[in-house]
Amino acid sequence: MCTVSFLPLDNGDFILTSNRDERSNRPSEIPSIHEVGNQYVLFPRDPEAGGTWIATNPYLSACLLNGAYIAHERKGPYRKSRGLVLLDAFNYPDAQEFALSYDFKGIEPFTLILIEEEQITELRWDGHSLFNIPLPWHEPRLWASSTLYSPEVISRRLAWFEEWQLEHPSYTLDGIRQFHQFGGDQDPENGLQIHRKGDLMTTSITSVYRMRRRTSMIYEDLLKQVKSTIPY
């Protein structure tokens, strides 16, 4: 939920990867295909709220980060979990219809990345207004949660990502996953893999890998040291 990268590949393929920074005792389930409204969606379920931070099907992939542009003060109780809002997006014809029609009032601020057929939409909800931003497909991207990382730390992470791209001009699944686990400074507070006081840590790394029109999800639980690859 807290560090996300997007890499475009040839022919509309891509790699979307997310580090989940959470309490070590917050559970999660290995990804599986669930029925969501009138869609079937592959995602790792969060048993606490029933939602997720990353999900995919043949038409849409989505990834969530906490916070919009700046760190916010929590003013709950909120109407619905942000992880359930992500899943609601799968029941709209496309990202723009979701952005125009969905009621975001009463939802805690978030950033939501929606990937369709060679289209990327970044939605940022700050608790009052929705910012609907189309992004160019062929540009690699990195996002970090504004609730966990200061603007200075986010800028440092963007610099690490740019350096990684220079060193890895051909993008691979293994390459970007190694970056998410070992890249940047080995800083337990602000590195790509964190372990902060209070037991907030990077608990898993999940990738959506679209290759030759086939989609799979690679999920690695860093606490249990278990890695699974689940095809859609």
Domain ranges of the chain: 3-231
Print pLDDT tens along the chain (232 aa).
Answer: 689 999 999 999 999 999 998 888 887 889 999 999 989 999 999 988 899 999 999 999 999 999 999 888 888 789 999 999 999 999 999 999 999 999 999 999 999 999 999 999 999 999 999 999 999 999 999 999 998 889 999 999 999 999 999 999 999 999 999 999 999 888 888 889 989 987 889 999 999 999 988 999 999 999 999 999 999 9
For residues 38 and 179, the answer to whether their CB atoms sit within 8 Å is no
What is the architecture, at CATH level 2, of domain 3-231? 4-Layer Sandwich (3.60)
- Structure tokens of 134? 């189309």
Kindly report the pTM of this predicted structure. Answer: 0.96
